[in-house]
Amino acid sequence: MSTVFVALGANLGDPLAQIRAAQQALAALATPGSLRHSPLYHSMPMGPADQPPYINGVSTFDTELAPLALLDALQSIELTHGRVRKEERWGPRTLDLDMLLYGERHIEEERLTVPHYGMKQREFVLYPLADLAPGLVLPCGTPLDRLLHDCPTNGMTRLSPQ
């Protein structure tokens, strides 16, 4: 069994509803009682500026799934929620689920790189991750609080609990 962290993001359709539905779908991948979600955040798009703002968060859970099986399951959830894989890089999405961490493992596969390649620079990943695991040290040995110190919020705001 491994503890995983998954980033969630959406900015098309009803982003909040998409994120909430994805959070519920993650329960099927988690060992019972292990699923937790960060607060959600409103953030500006990382890519083209002519797209709507995002809703972002992070979920963590324990899973028995192997890394590639988990990736397949996450991509299946994305497809169920209207994700089209031929989208532009950093373009708008109905749902984006990115595996950030899989235990302490370093994974370099054609389809999967863990820790996630961009997580150290993305405020919409680091701040929700810190909500769930404030004392986290990444598998490379970098403390999360050091990354937060060097990462501005870029206008990101926490959504009110619903």
How is 63-109 classified by DSSP, letter by letter? E-S-HHHHHHHHHHHHHHTT--TTPPTT---S-EEEEEEETT--EE-
* Residue 83 annotated in active site: yes
- Residue 92: count other Cβ atoms within 10 Å of its Cβ: 19
Helix count (H) and strand count (E) of the chain? 4, 8
Among the listed residues 50, 62, 83, 85, the single catalytic one is 83
The question of whether 111 is a catalytic residue gets the answer: no
**Catalytic option among 36, 96, 111, 146:** 96
Catalytic residue among 93, 105, 146, 158: 93
Query: Distance between CA atoms of 19 and 7, rounded to whole angstroms?
Result: 10
The Cα–Cα gap between 61 and 35 comes to 4
Catalytic-residue membership of 150: no
- From the candidates 72, 98, 105, 158, which is the catalytic residue? 98
**Amino acid in the structure at residue 79:** L
Residue 62 annotated to the active site: no
Q: Which residues are designated catalytic? A: 83, 93, 96, 98
